[in-house]
A and B are shown apart, each in its own frame.
Chain A
Amino acid sequence: MKEISLHILDLAQNSIRAGAGNVLIRIEEDSAADTFSVSLTDDGCGMGAEMAKSVQNPFVTTRTTRKVGLGIPLFKAGCENCAGTFTLESELGRGTRIAGTYQRSHIDRPPLGNIADTIAMLIAANPKLHLRYEHKLNGEEYALDTAEIQEILGEVPLDTPEVTAFIAEFIHSNESELESTEVQKS
């Protein structure tokens, strides 16, 4: 995966397959502490302690179409290769929280990449899902919440192409705004 946003798209698929109704994706960047943290929290079916441990092994997967499951191991390896950490907490019937940190300035840390398309595609393909995306950079923060959007849209579904285009542009412009706050301060 060349971008952190691709890992996010991939990891969110696990939440969707776990039957989650609510997914929270949060990015927290701190330039002083030199950390870049990503977390995904869902209320899907969760896993027992043994499964939660074994999914970190690439040769474990719940699918039947192939014998390897690389999503979590790739993310984990990416974090650990950038002087970061990886944690996975899960409880059967309650949900899963997956979190990884990178050393923000690490030469191997992938860029966040096109997070706008990641979130827009996730919503377009899963219009019934309640998804919240938060991005914090130092003191600044913004969020996109499908519940708020749905409230304004009323009976217009979230997978309407115009809405997908709006969501992508909304995130794109907010990300640029967020980035510019860091440039101004430095």
Chain B
Amino acid sequence: MKTLKELEAIRQKTLNELNLRKNREDGIRVVVGLATCGIAAGARPVMAAFVDEVNKRQLTNVTVSQTGCIGLCRLEPIVEVYLPGQEKVTYCKVTPDQVGRIVSEHIVNGNPVMEYTIGNFE
């Protein structure tokens, strides 16, 4: 069984990276809608997939956070991606298997996956 002792090792390991994460102006934000509508539509596994992917790729400049309902419940799960200096990109009806592509093409390489964005739904 897992115990809290393992956290000590995580602390040691991440302490070195901490300065890298702090005060980054080129920080990228991924925001997942976690209101009733988003959760019911499957936002939790989508958010988990983003956290997992960011962790796997060691993307220290990316934070994954949450927001409430933005009023487009029928298009949930909705994910907004903010790249510094660019307009935000809104993805609709996101599924966990789309997350890998969004991370590699958009977050890493800077090219939004147009076919998943709101423009394709509205």
| Pair from one complex | yes
Whether B18 and A161, one on each chain, are in contact in the complex, defined by CB atoms closer than 8 angstroms, is: no
A32 at the interface (CB under 8 A from B): no
A153 at the interface (CB under 8 A from B): yes
Whether B65 and A125, one on each chain, are in contact in the complex, defined by CB atoms closer than 8 angstroms, is: yes
Q: Which of A126, A148, A153 contacts B10 (CB 8 A)?
A: A153
Whether A66 and B69, one on each chain, are in contact in the complex, defined by CB atoms closer than 8 angstroms, is: yes
In angstroms, Cα B3 to Cα A148, docked, is: 12
A70 at the interface (CB under 8 A from B): yes
Whether A152 and B8, one on each chain, are in contact in the complex, defined by CB atoms closer than 8 angstroms, is: yes
Q: Which of A10, A126, A153, A161 contacts B39 (CB 8 A)?
A: A10
B residues near A74, Cβ cutoff 8 Å: 36
A166 at the interface (CB under 8 A from B): yes
B55 at the interface (CB under 8 A from A): yes
In angstroms, Cα B52 to Cα A174, docked, is: 20
Given contacts A117-B48, A152-B4, A165-B52, contact A125 B34 (CB under 8 A): yes
Whether A155 and B15, one on each chain, are in contact in the complex, defined by CB atoms closer than 8 angstroms, is: yes
B residues near A120, Cβ cutoff 8 Å: 48, 51
A residues near B6, Cβ cutoff 8 Å: 166
Given contacts A161-B54, A165-B52, contact A63 B68 (CB under 8 A): yes
Whether A173 and B69, one on each chain, are in contact in the complex, defined by CB atoms closer than 8 angstroms, is: no
Q: Mark A107-132, 1 if CB is under 8 A from B, else 0.
A: 00000001001101100111000000
A140 at the interface (CB under 8 A from B): no
Main secondary structure of the interface of B (DSSP, over half): helix
Q: Which of B19-54 contact A (CB under 8 A)?
A: 21, 32, 34-37, 39-40, 44-45, 47-48, 51-52, 54
In angstroms, Cα B3 to Cα A173, docked, is: 9
Task: Please name the residue on chain A nearest to B57 by beta carbon.
Answer: A161
Task: Please name the residue on chain B nearest to A17 by beta carbon.
Answer: B68
Greatest chain A CB density within 10 A among B4, B8, B70, B71 is at: B4
Task: Please name the residue on chain B nearest to A176 by beta carbon.
Answer: B1
Whether B51 and A169, one on each chain, are in contact in the complex, defined by CB atoms closer than 8 angstroms, is: no
A residues adjacent to B (C-beta < 8 A): 1, 6, 9-10, 13, 17, 63, 65-66, 69-71, 74, 114, 117-118, 120-121, 124-126, 148-149, 152-156, 159-166, 168-170, 173-174, 177
Known: A65-B71, A166-B2. 10 other contacts (CB 8 A): A70-B37, A121-B34, A121-B44, A121-B66, A152-B11, A153-B7, A159-B65, A161-B51, A162-B10, A165-B52
